[in-house]
Chain A
Amino acid sequence: QSALTQPPSASGSPGQSVAISCTGTSSDVGAYNYVSWYQQHPGKVPKLLMYEVSKRPSGVPDRFSGSKSGNTASLTVSGLQAEDEADYYCNSYAGSNNYVFGGGTKVTVL
């Protein structure tokens, strides 16, 4: 049950794209297409952004996209906006009804 690995920070200018990686193992990210992503603004509750690797819940802009290759999943934010400045966390199913989060990535809009 080791945490998934995310870069501590990422940044981009308004309108640019930023990609956040989430690296796990063949027992979690690599084994299941059950990777989800969460956005958390300071002092706020986490919000589901993506589930099953690349599916967006209703209301999430299509500027947000997800993908996975092997043991690494990625979240891409295109057309970066000021309100995208937040912490982002990945999560993966790890079998036997267990889950694991990533350490989080702080996205800064320059």
Chain B
Amino acid sequence: EVQLVESGGGLVQPGGSLRLSCAASGFTFSYYWMSWARQAPGKGLDWVAHIKADGYEKSYVDSVKGRFTISRDNAKSSLYLQMNSLRAEDTAVYYCVRGGQPGGFDYWGQGALVTVSS
């Protein structure tokens, strides 16, 4: 059974940093592209970042470029999101997601809440 379990969420002050982790199991992690998506309270889904299976290609939504870094450790079947210079508008539930094109985002974690507030 595919499982994606996020950790590392919490309350952080504006300008602060946080690192999210996602532990993957039930599939060969090193074969799959992975993404982070987020959903602000009461709002829609936003794609945040994407990383190739081997970790060498990464892409980001414009609003987080230069502040967020996606990475992975295939030996540990883990995905990460380092978030720096956090802003109030980054407050959201962050989802670890498997896949992308062509097969869509087929598995989602339960999400980690990140709250940016003073």
Contacts and interface: CB of A to CB of B under 8 A. Distances in A.
Interface in B47-66: 47, 50, 52, 57-59, 61-62
A109 B64 CA distance: 37
Interface size classification for chain B: 20 to 34
Nearest to B58: A97
Nearest to B107: A48
B76 to A, nearest CB: 23
Interface residues of A, number: 28
Contact of A103 (B37, B44, B52, B111): B44
A98 B104 contact: no
A101 interface: yes
A38 B45 contact: yes
Interface of B is mostly: strand
B108 A36 contact: no
A97 B57 contact: yes
B82 to A, nearest CB: 19
Contact of B104 (A1, A36, A96, A97): A36
Nearest to B4: A45
A103 B40 CA distance: 12
B115 interface: no
B73 interface: no
A16 to B, nearest CB: 25
The 9 closest A-B pairs by CB, nearest first: A51-B104, A36-B104, A97-B59, A104-B44, A34-B101, A99-B47, A93-B101, A101-B45, A45-B108
Given A1-B61, A93-B100, A97-B52, 12 more contacts: A1-B62, A40-B45, A45-B109, A45-B111, A47-B108, A50-B104, A51-B104, A87-B44, A91-B104, A96-B59, A99-B101, A104-B45
8 contacts: A32-B101, A40-B45, A45-B108, A48-B106, A52-B103, A57-B106, A91-B45, A100-B47
Interface of B: 35, 37, 44-47, 50, 52, 57-59, 61-62, 95, 100-106, 108-111
